[in-house]
Amino acid sequence: MSDEADETAERKMQFLFALRSKGVTDARVLTAMEKIDRGPFIRGYFSERAYEDMPLPIACGQTISQPSVVGLMTQALRVSARDKVLEVGTGSGYQAAILSLLARRVYTVDRHKRLVQDATEIFNGLDLTNIIALTADGSFGLPDQAPFDRIIVTAAAEDPPGPLLAQLKIGGIMVVPVGQSDAVQRLIRVTRLETGFEYDELRPVRFVPLVEGLGRDG
């Protein structure tokens, strides 16, 4: 094995160890995160830090979440191979790429056209054919494709958005950060029951706020 291959294998091992040490223990999630290289999703100055467990800036003033948070949110979503998933906040596309290895189909929306275009380019390059990326106001979900088995929101709302709750199947799960944008938020798992909604508080997090409308580039 070459030195470069050794270094790559070592880096991947450390990456997975960091995920496990932060509580990502689901075997399917870890396998997906091992297969999807975070490197291509981070461009420019910060690309060398792609394998560190930290959030990093991307275009349009957004961020790519730290891998352990991506892993914990994905784990909390309990995705099965038959699920249709909606992601609100495409960002770099990293979260959607991981979901694509776990679900039947992933719809991902972002208010920034540039982010959707960049992410689509990466999805095509990785041959991830079950992702549909759209420029849209994610706070309203995707009514044309509803209902969804799973919904994941990668921006913080003050409360779980009503339109998204309405687009969740009975028995479906939504994972969403909730709280004021200038304070520590809480990651919530919402399960839709026949009789209403059940809420589980998972952990403190910090995300960019969920903003209505399209970005200026969109």
| Catalytic positions, written as ranges | 65
**How far, in Å, CA of 218 to CA of 213, rounded?**
9
On whether the CB atoms of residues 136 and 89 are closer than 8 A, the answer is no
DSSP per-residue letters across 90-114: -TTSHHHHHHHTTSSEEEEEES-HH
How many C-beta atoms surround the C-beta of residue 2 within 10 A? 7
Q: How many alpha carbons fall within 13 Å on the CB side of residue 72? A: 23
Give Cβ neighbours of residue 124 (< 8 Å, ≥ 6 apart). Answer: none
φ/ψ bin of 146: left (φ > 0), alpha (ψ from -120 to 50), beta (otherwise): beta
**How far, in Å, CA of 124 to CA of 120, rounded?**
6
Tokens of 214: 């399209």
How many C-beta atoms surround the C-beta of residue 144 within 10 A? 6
> How do 131-135 and 105-110 pair as beta strands?
parallel
